[in-house]
Amino acid sequence: MRNYILAIMAGALCIMLSGCQETPEESAVVSKADGISEAVVCEPLKEGEKRETDVPAHWEFEEKKSNDRVIIQADLKLGEQSIGNLPVIEMKSHELTQEELKGLIDYFANGEELYRSQMVTKDVYQAVLDRISNKEGSYAQSAYSTSIASIQNATREGMELAPDETSAPEKAEIGFHKESEDPGVKAARSWMGAEPENTDTEDYFAVDLGEDRAAHIKAERYNQKIDNDSSFLWMEGSNFIEEETIENEEMQSEYYSSFGMDTNGYTEKFHELADAYRECMDKITFTEEDGKEQAEQILEDLGIDDMGIVDSDRTVWFPKGACSEKNGLGLGSDALWQGDLDKGLPGYLYSFSRSVEGLTSVSEGMAAEGTVDSYVPPFQIETISILITEEGVKYFKWDGIAEEVRTVTENTKLLPFEKIQAKLTDQIFYWYSGKGQSANDTTLLEYDVVNAKLQYTYTTAYQEPEHAWLVPAWIFTVQESLGGNPLQNLSYVINAYDGSVIGEVH
């Protein structure tokens, strides 16, 4: 699970009369007491007091590498940073209790009868195979030809294991049980790579709601033996499509088209589809703020504290039968082509995460192989996603459920921003180097920093391998362009007090 080594620097607390305005010096002195370098820990600020920083209000730089074939640049207005205390908090995975599971089910099931989930039937697999054969939707993208052959073979294997008809309805009781397996779905997903093996522990729960099965619930309980996290999911309807998903697909199709990989006009057709989705989203009947208040009311109803809004995204939600199901069969992007927009409802998907001193926490980023000052946290950031339409809530997902252990230190300094910038440019260049561009290839690769924000994220905890530290970190989004054509967005997360690079949870 941990591919990178955490070089922990530690020391004793230092009293700084200037309230953290001095910048830390790097230190190799290790304190066995708390695991924090004496250079980064300082006296807490008074309530309402803010610190001075060297973070530029307008961040602008350009750096060229590899004979000017690589340009790393930023031109962002970061504004005046109003920053107070930056504590470090130790967290651990929370073991979802039977009582908590019942409370969540009672809230979302709304009195509906619980039924055991049913296996996917052969006709669903056949529908995927038909779309592949007819080159419909995403399967018309010629750039996917290699993947499509693998998907087709895996889907056929899954169909052989699938039942002809749905099983008779079977009522379910609230309680954790062994993980139920649909062998057909597992085989159909094999083209994506190896999936974790099912365990024999009784830490899972999955049901459909009501006789029409218009909604379903899935939950998982943390168990150290199987290295998982607690989670809870309730969803009504078949699927939903976010605007960000559409934008990413557009970017990718434009890239393929620019290199002559679109041989049948797929990109133009997808633009038309994307416009249709946006027209549907434009018909939303409530404001983003009104939807946010509804989502926050759900958190309050459930007694979930210390969560702050991270972002929101326009979306189209589809009732049962109006879009392909989120069951993992075939190309996920093909759902965009199958959504019946006449039946879709526009809405907002709100993302929440644990808030520390007004700063929300975000998931992990990338870390280049071979860098000693990089590491990964032991479990994922706690997040909650809530989808609101004019009919109310349609989706609630709570991942990485965690609980606070202790406050490691009440305040830390910020590493000089120029050092953070240097860490970022190093990581981007490591990423580029892995592409293996030949010496005679003059193609220009550009890396534009399109977003930079001080937030919180997890690192590994000192001498507690099963715990995580919630630490201040710089979160960067970098757009990679090849030959002037946007290719993808890359995410980098850098510890704000020591410059360590935080990679993704595996």
Mean pLDDT of 404-413: 95
Question: What pairing do the DSSP bridges indicate for beta strands 70-77 and 445-461?
Answer: parallel
- pLDDT score at 104: 98
Instruction: Name which of 328-337, 354-363, 367-376, 431-440 the model is least confident about.
Output: 367-376
Statement: residue 32 has pLDDT above 80: no
In sign, the C-alpha dihedral spanning 336, 342, 344, 348 is positive
Q: Convert the pLDDT of each residue in 120-135 to its tens digit.
A: 999 999 999 999 999 9
Task: Please give the angle made by the CA atoms of 126, 131 and 135, to the nearest 5 degrees.
Answer: 150
DSSP-derived letter for residue 68 is: T
Mean local confidence (pLDDT), 454-477? 93
Instruction: For residue 441, give Cα distances in angstroms to 62, 433, 438.
Output: 22, 13, 5
The distance in angstroms from the start CA to the end CA of the chain is 5
DSSP assignment letter at 412: B
**Would you state the pLDDT for residue 253?**
86
pLDDT value at 208 more than 80? yes
- Total-model pTM: 0.88
Confidence check: pLDDT of 216 > 90: yes
Helix 98-109 / helix 288-302 crossing angle, nearest 10 deg: 140
Report the C-alpha gap between 15 and 46 in whole angstroms. Answer: 14
Q: What is the mean pLDDT of residues 329-346?
A: 95
Residue 210: predicted pLDDT: 94
Q: Mean per-residue pLDDT for 219-248?
A: 95
Buried b (16+ CB within 10 A) or exposed e, 432-455: beeeeeeeeeeeebbbbbeebebb
- pLDDT range class, residue 23, cuts 50, 70, 90: very low
Cα 135 from chain centre: 30
| Residue 152 pLDDT exceeds 90 | yes
The predicted structure's pLDDT at residue 7: 29
Decide: residue 479, CB within 10 A, 0-12 exposed, 13-18 middle, 19+ buried. Answer: middle
Q: Count the neighbouring beta carbons within 10 Å of the beta carbon of residue 12.
A: 12
Q: Is the pLDDT of residue 375 over 80?
A: no
Contact (Cβ atoms closer than 8 angstroms) between residue 306 and residue 355? yes
Structure tokens at 432: 């580029």
Residue 30 has pLDDT above 50, yes or no: no
Per-residue pLDDT, averaged over 379-395, amounts to: 96
Q: Is the pLDDT of residue 485 over 90?
A: no
Residue 238 has pLDDT above 50, yes or no: yes
Predicted pLDDT at 33: 42
pLDDT bin (cut points 50, 70, 90) of residue 8 is: very low
Assign 3-class secondary structure to 171-205: ECCCCCEECCCCHHHHHHCHHHCCCCCCCCCEEEE
Q: Is pLDDT of 142 > 60? A: yes
Q: Which of 83-92, 408-417, 432-441 has the lowest mean pLDDT?
A: 432-441
The per-residue pLDDT for 194 is 66
> How high is the pLDDT of residue 36?
83
- The rounded distance, in Å, linking the Cα atoms of 370 and 63 is 22
Phi-psi region of 483 (alpha: psi -120 to 50; beta: other; left: phi over 0): left
Q: Are strands 239-242 and 307-318 parallel, antiparallel or unpaired?
A: antiparallel
Q: What is the average pLDDT across 433-457?
A: 91
Q: What is the DSSP-derived secondary structure letter of residue 207?
A: E
Percent of the chain with pLDDT over 90: 70
The encoded tokens of residue 116 equal 């055991």
Report the alpha-carbon distance of residue 20 to residue 53 in Å, rounded: 9
Mean pLDDT of the chain: 88
Non-local CB neighbours of 392 within 8 Å, separated by 6+ positions: 294
Under 8 Å between Cβ of 243 and 275: no
Q: What is the pLDDT of residue 405?
A: 96
Q: Name the pLDDT band for 14 (thresholds 50, 70, 90).
A: very low
pLDDT at 376: 77
Contacts 24+ apart (CB under 8 A), 200-203: 201/225, 201/226, 202/176, 202/177, 202/178, 203/176, 203/179, 203/228
| Residue 231, strand partner residues | 220
What whole-number distance in Å separates Cα of residue 102 and Cα of residue 11? 45
CB-based contacts of 264: which residues, under 8 Å, 6+ apart?
A: 140, 142
Over residues 85-104, the mean pLDDT reads 97
What is the pLDDT, as a whole number, of residue 382?
96
Q: Tell me how far apart the 2 most distant CA atoms of the chain are, in Å.
A: 74
Q: Judge whether residue 50 has pLDDT over 80.
A: yes
pLDDT (mean) for 475-499: 90
Please tell me the predicted confidence (pLDDT) of residue 225.
92
Check residue 484 and report its DSSP letter: T
CA distance 174 to 18: 56
Beta-sheet strands, E only, within 152-292? 177-178, 202-209, 215-220, 230-236, 239-242
Sorted by sequence, the CB contacts under 8 Å of residue 151 that are 6+ apart come out as: 128, 132, 191, 330, 331
Q: What is the pLDDT of residues 259-302, one digit of tens each?
A: 777 667 898 999 999 999 999 999 999 999 999 999 999 999 99
